[in-house]
Amino acid sequence: MQAKKAKKMTNELIYKIESLLSAIKEEKEALSKVEAEYERELEVLKAKYYPEIEQRKNALKNLEQELEKFAKAYAGKLFQDGDIVELSIGRIIREIKIAVKRARGVLKKLEQLGWDEAIIIQKKVNWDVLETWPEEKLIACGTERVIKVKITYELYE
């Protein structure tokens, strides 16, 4: 009697797993088709619009630079009544702030002077190195080797 129950439970488990794998396979195939179509259509759109978009971005950047250069050149006349100049199509705004110049060699001088609070040091654990260490070293630095279980699957074509 126990053998029948165990076999029935095993068959139910196998059926459930096969059902899930089948559903996963169907979803992957549908996803692949949609992604392929998306990529095809996206490439067509990119080919059609990319050159003009880039051209217009560059033109806009050049115009903005020209505006800023022109406004700075004539700042004395433009901003004599304040930092905002109202125009019929919009306005230009002058913002003045004190900033630290990003000069070359500052990092080296900061290190020489010992002013470490102004230096960003990014530290990360090199986990690939720790994977090669013996247990004693892992324990000493506060970690350990553990067993991780991961369930994967393979679909047959």
DSSP string, 23-63: HHHHHHHHHHHHHHHHHHHHHHHHHHHHHHHHHHHHHHHHH
pLDDT at residue 93, rounded to an integer: 96
| pLDDT classification of 1: cutoffs 50, 70, 90 | low
Beta bridge partners of 86: 91
Share of residues in the chain with pLDDT > 90 (%)? 77
For 94-105, the pLDDT digits (tens) are 999 998 888 999
**pLDDT digits over 122-149, tens only?**
989 999 999 999 999 989 999 999 988 8
Mean pLDDT, the chain, integer? 91
